[in-house]
């Protein structure tokens, strides 16, 4: 299995790609560097955080950094610092990928692209009623992908009334603070509920009886690979779409944008397995240390 390149193999000609996040993780670093090694590309990927977003984006432009992945809390704040929003970013007013073409910074949202691909891959019917829990930047990407795939019977479930109702209005859906008695065929979680290491790591994003009534459950949380919601859905015999699938697909689209090379499905699957397995190991080690 390829390993990330050693320091001895990095030269003045090596192309740098980075990520900017409030809390950097290792998935993207592992995924991209695995594929650079697998495909023999002279690239390297490194995760960063910053307290000065404008300076960081200026550095991307000035230093010729080829690609920059953007996570919370920078997905919207970076927009005034960029030169062009492509349709995937303009559709939702949120960015997760920046490509630097000779100092011209072009923005994309590969979360939106990945969710659209999954809707098509799983052949989800546009007439299916659904509930989407969440109102943050990722929720915008997911809701817009469903809207643009023709889904018209959606409810945004969000405790934050202003953000939830604004997202619902933008996408042509209704808003509710809680799911209430609504029991749709499709449940979508786009909140940190169920995320490893979080305050609500053991909670279900939707009540058990809502899961029982659903036909398919989609949880965007990528860590752990099997969240409490996904586990409950599988136990009830429901179809599921996991956050690991979203993370892998969006990272693959970033890779293609940065390098112009599309790995084979087998190569992409190996990169995702390597990145997820490493992330699981690191999370377990962190949790053990925190408990000691």
pLDDT digits (tens, 9 = 90+) for 77-125: 999 999 999 999 998 999 999 999 999 999 999 999 999 999 999 999 9
- Provide the angle, in degrees to the nearest 10, between the axes of the packed helices 243-259 and 265-291: 120
Q: Which of 3-12, 56-65, 112-121, 160-169 has the lowest mean pLDDT?
A: 3-12
Confidence of residue 72 (pLDDT cuts 50, 70, 90): confident
pLDDT digits (tens, 9 = 90+) for 19-65: 999 988 899 999 999 999 999 999 999 999 999 999 999 999 999 99
Instruction: Kindly state the tokens that stand for 15.
Output: 């192309």
Q: Looking at residues 210-233, what average pLDDT do you find?
A: 96
Same-domain pairing of 94 and 152: no
- Tell me, yes or no, whether 83 and 149 share the same domain: no
Same domain, 232 and 274: no
Same domain, 105 and 140: no
Q: Is 2 inside any structural domain?
A: no
- Asked if 149 and 211 sit in the same domain, the reply is yes
> Is position 250 within any domain?
no
Q: Are residues 125 and 234 in the same domain?
A: yes
Do 185 and 264 lie in one domain? The reply is no
Residues 201 and 264 in one domain: no
Q: Model confidence at 283, in pLDDT bands (50, 70, 90)?
A: very low
Mean pLDDT of 194-215: 94
Q: Considering only CA atoms, which of 121, 155, 158 is closest in space to residue 136? A: 158
3-state SS, residue 170: helix
Phi, psi (degrees; rounded to nearest 5) at 222: -95, -20
pLDDT score of 235: 98
Q: What is the CATH classification number for the domain harbouring 237?
A: 3.40.50.720
Domain contains 239: yes
| 235 and 123 co-located in one domain | yes
What's the whole-number mean pLDDT along residues 140-166?
97
Give yes or no: residues 11 and 86 share one domain: yes
Interatomic CA distance for residues 222 and 187, integer angstroms:
16
Co-location of 80 and 149 in the same domain = no
Whether residue 291 is predicted with pLDDT greater than 80 in this model: the reply is: no
Catalytic residues, which ones? 75
* Total structural domains within the chain: 2
Domain, as residue range, for 197: 113-245
State residue 198's pLDDT score. Answer: 85
The pLDDT of residue 3: 56
Q: What is the mean pLDDT of the chain?
A: 92
Q: Are residues 118 and 240 in the same domain?
A: yes
Are 163 and 110 within 8 A, CB to CB?
no
Helix residue ranges, H only, 154-264: 161-171, 208-213, 228-235, 243-259
CATH number at residue 282: 3.40.50.10860
The β-bridge relationship of strands 216-219 and 239-241 is parallel
Range scoring the smallest mean pLDDT among 44-53, 226-235, 271-280: 271-280
């Amino acid at each position: 299995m390829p390993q990330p390149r050693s320091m001895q193999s990095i030269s003045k000609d090596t192309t740098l790609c980075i990520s900017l996040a409030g809390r950097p993780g290792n998935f993207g670093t592992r995924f991209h560097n695995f594929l650079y090694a697998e495909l023999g590309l002279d690239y390297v990927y490194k995760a960063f955080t910053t307290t000065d977003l404008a300076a960081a984006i200026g550095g991307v432009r000035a230093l010729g950094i080829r690609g920059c992945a953007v996570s919370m809390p920078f997905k919207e704040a970076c927009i005034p610092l960029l030169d062009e929003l492509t349709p995937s970013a303009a559709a939702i007013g949120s960015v997760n990928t920046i490509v630097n073409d000779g100092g011209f910074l072009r923005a994309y949202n590969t979360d939106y692209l990945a969710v659209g691909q999954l809707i098509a891959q799983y052949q989800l019917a546009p007439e299916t009623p659904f509930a989407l829990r969440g109102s943050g930047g990722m929720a915008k990407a997911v809701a817009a992908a469903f809207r643009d795939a023709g889904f018209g019977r959606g409810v945004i479930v969000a405790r934050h009334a202003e953000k939830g109702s604004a997202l619902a209005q933008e996408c042509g859906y209704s808003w509710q603070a809680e799911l209430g008695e609504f029991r749709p065929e499709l449940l979508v979680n786009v909140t940190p509920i169920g995320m490893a290491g979080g305050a609500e790591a053991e909670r279900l994003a939707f009540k058990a009886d809502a899961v029982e009534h659903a036909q398919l459950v989609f949880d965007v949380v990528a860590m752990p690979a099997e969240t409490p919601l996904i586990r409950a859905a599988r136990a009830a015999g429901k179809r599921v779409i996991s956050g690991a699938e979203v993370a892998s697909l969006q990272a693959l689209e970033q890779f293609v944008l940065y390098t112009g090379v599309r790995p084979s499905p087998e190569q992409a699957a190996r990169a995702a397995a390597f990145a997820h397995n490493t992330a699981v190991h690191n999370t377990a080690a962190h949790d053990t240390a925190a408990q000691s």
